[in-house]
Amino acid sequence: MEEKRLPHDHGQRIEREAGHMPSAAGFQAAADLFRQLGDGSRIRIFWILCHGEECVVNLSSLMEMSSPAVSHHLKQLRAAELIVSRRDGKEVYYRAADTAAAKLLHQMIEALAEIVCPDEG
């Protein structure tokens, strides 16, 4: 990509970096993913599923939420491709997706929790 010339030269050479900037669609995809994480319960469910596979009933118990509420959050996480599911008879089990985005998000959640609540570790 050709280096863009900015109207004002502040000596920072940001024009060079701007040539490597992701597309607007890339930023929108990141914003859509972050929008899914705007709910603390959803982040907790995702964190649990990063550590093991669980069914809705057990997640509901762990979260102290109704099964329909947990199912709603699971639907959002699946739409964001952060979790996957498998059926075993009548039971559906959920776990974190084995993707770079899910792994990075898990690391971010744990790092931010450590920074924000260091004494609760």
Rounded to 5 degrees, what angle do the CA atoms 26, 98, 117 make?
A: 80
Q: pTM of the predicted model, to two decimals?
A: 0.78
According to the model, what pLDDT value does residue 8 have?
72
Which pLDDT tens digits describe the chain residue by residue (121 residues)? Answer: 556 677 777 777 776 667 777 888 988 988 888 888 889 999 999 999 999 999 999 999 999 999 999 999 999 999 999 999 999 999 999 999 999 999 999 998 999 888 767 665 5
Q: What is the dihedral of CA 35, 30, 26, 104, to 10 degrees?
A: -160
Task: Kindly tell me the number of DSSP H helices and DSSP E strands found in the chain.
Answer: 6, 3
**Quick one: which of 41, 108, 36 has its CA closest to 77?**
36
